[in-house]
Amino acid sequence: MTEHHIILLLGVYLVGGGSTLLLNPGRVTTIVDSMDKVPFATYVTGAAMGVAGAAILLTYHDFSTFARGLATLVGGGILLEGWLMMAMPKTLMSMAKPFYRGDRLTRGMGLVIILLGILTIWYGLSA
């Protein structure tokens, strides 16, 4: 798997997540609230993210090209979020809640994330 594949997967993830924010903003609030109440969900999700982030960082851990640097940042971000989700889930969820409180804000964020995902997919495919 090349760094462009990692970038392409990130773009698909962004479009999927952005679509949820855009089309069903109330669902996101429910997800964040439920993860805050179910420690098992945050731990298992964090553990899976930690493994995925570490796997990316084992392969891409330099900034020699823009694509490799972006893959390195993606891996580091996933690993960090996984650790935080396992170690400090309430803090992480409380940081997320202000972004999901208004339908207009949530839908707007969804649109921006979808556009960012499309750009990311385009860059991943342009290799």
Q: What pLDDT digit, counting tens, does each position of 7-50 carry?
A: 999 999 999 999 999 999 888 888 888 887 888 989 999 999 99
Q: pTM for this one?
A: 0.84
Position 99 scores a pLDDT of 74
Position 34 scores a pLDDT of 83
Q: Please give the average per-residue pLDDT across 89-108, as a whole number.
A: 84
Are 42 and 86 a contacting pair, CB within 8 Å?
yes
How many CA atoms does the CB half-sphere of 42 hold within 13 Å?
21
3-state helix, strand, coil in the chain (%, to 5): 90, 0, 10
Residue 22's contacts (CB-CB under 8 Å, 6 or more residues apart) are 107, 110, 111, 114
Quote the strand ranges of the chain, DSSP E.
Answer: none
Position 53 scores a pLDDT of 94
Position 35 scores a pLDDT of 82
107 by Cβ neighbours in 10 Å (0-12 / 13-18 / 19+) ranks as middle
Residue matched to tokens 């989700």: 85
